[in-house]
Chain A
Amino acid sequence: MRHLLSIEDLDRGEIELICDRARSFAEVGRRDIKKVPTLRGRTIVSLFYEASTRTSSSFELAAKRLSADVVSVKSVGSSVDKGESLRDTIATLSAYEPEAIVIRSPEAGAAALVANWTEAAVVNAGDGKHEHPSQALLDVYTLIDHVGPLDGKRIWIVGDVAHSRVARSCIRAFVTMGAEVTVAGPPTLIPRGIETLGCEVAYDLGDIGEADVIYALRMQKERMNHAFVPSLREYAVNYQINGRRLGPRQLVMHPGPVNRGVELSPEVIDGPASLITAQVASGLLVRMAILYEILAGGERPRPLSRIGGGGDRSRESESSPIGEPA
């Protein structure tokens, strides 16, 4: 894998490869010294043009766990803030000859453009409302970890689909992994033509009982300025996932940060059905796997241990190329 720009570029085998690699890194996190020397001497630039807590911190920590040198550039306080163009910024940073650039941008296609301008491998950490591939990969990993293969699983993605890159990447990833995906939300926030990604569309939660997994999206308060919905109260009445709507055995996911009491009720966030903290933990492992695959991967190194099929994890980690503690 040269870059990670979009889920659209990945087939099922590549998604499974990253999940398997992430699984092998889970063991590193259980060591006293949570670090392997795999990427020692490699430089990774993390360039964030938007506020981010989870994604930026987990990419940075993932790089450090792999012993890479990390340079973090945020738009605020940098030359980006002074009006430098994306292309000039990339030219400047490329002078350090980084092996990888992780980029978050408010504009669709920014990561793909950067890939044309630099020798470095490029990881898309979110481009506008287009894609957020590492989020979708960690969500697939989390789900497989909890429910096994996604074939035939019913996943409902609920909320502001129109403005959500997470929704677009997750629809693609879940469909690729065999799940049946339904998107649901206010008609003003479901883009015309979204069903061409292979999902069903619902405008109310009447049939949400059929879902195995409910993936709630963040309801961004700034959308209120454009009057996409009349009020957050009305939104919550119609689309909030709460104890009354949530059935037994249904699992709940959310990309964070959560608006408590809007898209999810507090008892659901903190309840047993919630996979939200598992998603954050998976994020680190999956981002280690992504950096590993684009910088040190290449060949598929060994047979995959599909979930539930691996009683043989010990031998697998022996032959794993991730190395000894640094």
Chain B
Amino acid sequence: MSAERDDIGSLDWRGEGTAGDLLIRGAHGFDPLTGLDRECDIVVRGGRIAEIAEAGAGEAPEGGEEIDASGLHAFPAFFDPHVHLRTPGQEYREDIESGSRAAAAGGFCGIVAMANTDPVVDDPAILSALRERAESEAVVPTGFVATVTKGMAGRELTEMAALREAGAVGFSDDGLPITDAGVMRRALQYQHLVGGTILLHEEDPALTGDGVMGEGAVSAALGLAGVPDTSESTMIARDGALCLYEDARAHVQHLSARTSVEAVAAAKQAGAKLTAELTPHHLVLTDEEVRSLDARFKMNPPLRTEDDRRALIEALRSGVVDCIGTDHAPHAPHEKEIPFEAANMGVTGLETAFAALYTELVLPGVVDLALIVERMGAGAAVFDLEPSRIEVGAEADVALVDLDAEWEAGADGWESRSVNSCFAGRRLRSRPVVTIVAGTVAYRRREFTMKVAG
């Protein structure tokens, strides 16, 4: 069955083939890629943006929906290159439906699921089964990576060509590093046959040791084993050198430290084809949160110091970091509401990503709204996909966001099956209200009503 597919690298969702007609009336259109920044009516026909009219001048397509978006911003919908949907095998934490619904609620029109499931996605049959499920369950277009090594054991390469044929959008052993430099080198060499990028969870287990949080004053005070930043940066330096030598590409996931930013910058400077990603939690929080010993602040890589956080923000501004990814990692209560050292690593993030960044970085004037909107869409390019745009002719992938909304994260529940959000209980400003994919409404908040025109 997989052999029939010729759509290498495509995303799957239950709305495949739909091509909606609708009118988004009176939104503040805002797209850093096209320069759009004004109130307008966006007319969608056949799933594509047909017209960007003056506010009040747009006409709803016959039989299409009309969305009164006055007071809302219309952004090109976001893309998350890094989520965990926990399927197959760990559906008690998340499944394709719940995870992609969380994505839609966060304003995302595309997500890429990691392969560290149970079993891991190292076999074309598993990948094909996942894609079929996504076709019937995924609320937004969903891509799947396959593992780089068999069983994610770090020793032998998977059948990367067959996996690519079956539709793997890329390759990653995320959750674990590829410790053996020889294996990493062969994977990069093989890329010249199979294409696609390799997404890297950079960590040297020998330096991480038993570490459960960032190493520094807070870990010393708490008596928790710390993870030095060199655990990450030395591996980035190694893989930057390998990419350069093999003329191959790789994507460095979730940078956590200043030294990691420096390692990515140096590799890029030398000409290595690296891209890099940052999570909202590393941009907003520091290891001071861990003083609470609340395992909602436990993730890998760990939160680090304020100096590291500032370096990450600067990396976002300077372009050393290409995109934002949430590393949405659902865990059940019995895996998180336990002592810190025993708890699993990882936090959910899809439903709070934009609001957390808007509240903590944009509102205080640390970064511009345009930078956040652009970098939250830029993850698509990691997989050679076009980031969404609000311009005539583009697929209508739009996030309608109420920038004035105030809410307490988690107070009215989550779309995700899991509740392990590091932002739970925080007052956040701004909230995605409606998410449109290919001209159809993939998600709207319950209180938001729409009418059918004509």
Contact = CB atoms under 8 A, between A and B. Distances in A.
Interface stretch (A38-46, A102-110, A253-261): A102-110
B217 A87 contact: no
Contact of B219 (A107, A165, A191, A197): A191
B17 interface: no
A239 B209 CA distance: 25
A107 B293 CA distance: 10
B338 A86 contact: yes
Nearest to A167: B223
Contacts of B337: 87, 113
Contacts, number: 70
B223 A192 contact: no
Contacts of A212: none
A165 B337 CA distance: 22
Contacts of A130: 222-224, 293
A129 B216 contact: no
B221 A112 contact: no
Size category of the A interface is: 20 to 34
A108 B293 CA distance: 8
Nearest to B341: A107
Nearest to B340: A109
Interface in B212-258: 215-224, 226, 228
A193 B339 contact: no
Contact of B220 (A128, A131, A197, A226): A197
B342 interface: yes
Nearest to A161: B220
B217 A193 contact: yes
Interface string A192-205: 11101100000000
A193 B219 CA distance: 8
A113 B334 contact: no
A241 to B, nearest CB: 23
Interface in A115-156: 127-131
A23 interface: no
Contacts of A127: 339
Contact of B338 (A85, A129, A131, A226): A85
B338 A108 contact: no
A168 interface: yes
A85 B334 contact: yes
A109 B221 contact: no
B223 A129 contact: yes
Given A112-B293, A113-B339, A128-B341, A168 B221 contact: yes
Given A113-B338, A192-B215, A108 B221 contact: no
A191 B220 contact: yes
Q: Which of B209, B221, B228 has the most CB of A within 10 A?
A: B221
Interface in B341-357: 341-342
A87 B339 CA distance: 10
A108 B217 contact: no
A131 B221 CA distance: 9
Interface string A51-85: 00000000000000000000000000000000001
Contact of B339 (A86, A131, A168): A86
A54 B339 CA distance: 24
Given A168-B221, A196-B217, A197-B221, A191 B226 contact: yes
B338 to A, nearest CB: 6
A12 to B, nearest CB: 19
A113 B218 CA distance: 19
Nearest to B337: A87
Contact of B224 (A86, A129, A192): A129
B223 A131 contact: yes
Nearest to B295: A109
B290 to A, nearest CB: 10
B334 A108 contact: no
Q: Which of A87, A168, A191 has the most CB of B within 10 A?
A: A191
Contacts of A192: 215-216, 219-220, 226, 228
Contacts of A168: 221, 223
Interface in B329-388: 334, 337-342
29 contacts: A85-B338, A86-B338, A87-B337, A107-B339, A107-B340, A107-B341, A109-B222, A109-B293, A112-B293, A113-B338, A113-B339, A128-B224, A128-B339, A129-B223, A130-B224, A163-B223, A165-B223, A168-B223, A191-B219, A192-B226, A192-B228, A193-B215, A193-B216, A193-B217, A193-B219, A193-B221, A197-B220, A197-B221, A226-B209
Interface of B: 209, 215-224, 226, 228, 293, 334, 337-342
Interface of A: 85-87, 105, 107-110, 112-113, 127-131, 163-165, 168, 191-194, 196-197, 226
Closest 10 CB pairs between A and B? A109-B293, A129-B223, A107-B339, A193-B217, A193-B220, A196-B217, A191-B220, A130-B223, A194-B220, A110-B339
